Structure 1
């Protein structure tokens, strides 16, 4: 399993953005990342200035959303749903897609549950628990 560092993950987004603007070919994952970046125009200035933002910290107490984490969670969901991992995520996605009416809005609901599961794992010093994730999705 590939587990990029913070800098590698950020550079992936910056490079995808730069390749798009240079009209260079994108990999499959870069294409998905670019689609997500285009859906978030509030982040475009960040991707246009990698030198300024590659090292920036986004602290919860500052009230700012970490754009790299946000887009990374979108990517994770886009990888989980087609393979139904954890088992049941695809059904929750279809239900939330019908409820919300858009892929992006459904992913944002799922993202809240994914972030909750990750937060609990970090807080408890445990592995991420799919049952927590799926239970949260059941409440959406």
Structure 2
């Protein structure tokens, strides 16, 4: 399930993990990672229930999809753990230094990841890591002024 979960499976896993965390139950490694992301996002806690499992957050409504946001955090954590695409770990370190904290740097990285995915979908091709790394460099330059 965790290597290619459906939208429903992923959302249920996030909700279940949050419940376990709140109840003080032991967590598996992935659950610990998810709980850490969720703990840094109190604005999403209200969405971590079954009533929101089927909800959509269309971009045109101006709301952030909490489940997508959590998933992007996890994707970036995985990228950093294996430095894929090559250079992403160094870009993150530079963003952390420039932004002053890891969470802000992570959100800067989400902009790059989102841009890469959007371009791939728009152009009908595979995601291009060069696009991602280029956006990260531009975000870094913007922070540095």
- TM bucket by the smaller chain? over 0.9
Match of residue 75 from structure 2: 76
The secondary structure found in structure 2 opposite 1:139 is helix
Match of residue 12 from structure 1: 13
Query: Moved runs in structure 1, 4+ residues, more than 4 A?
Result: none
Does the CA contact (< 8 Å) of 2:15 and 2:50 recur in 1?
no
Match of residue 65 from structure 1: 64
Q: How many residues align?
A: 138
With normalisation by structure 2, the TM-score equals: 0.91
Match of residue 106 from structure 1: 105
* Residue ranges of structure 1 left out of the alignment (5+ in a row): none
Q: Deviations over 1:105-133 (max 9, x none)?
A: 00000000001111111111211111111
Q: Using the alignment, how far apart are the partners of 1:10 and 1:99 within structure 2?
A: 33
* Residue ranges of structure 2 left out of the alignment (5+ in a row): 140-145
Q: Does 1:44 align with 2:66?
A: no
CA RMSD of aligned residues (A): 1.2
Match of residue 142 from structure 2: none
Distance apart, 1:28 and its partner CA = 0.8
Q: Using the alignment, how far apart are the partners of 2:11 and 2:88 within structure 1?
A: 26
Does the CA contact (< 8 Å) of 2:17 and 2:31 recur in 1?
yes
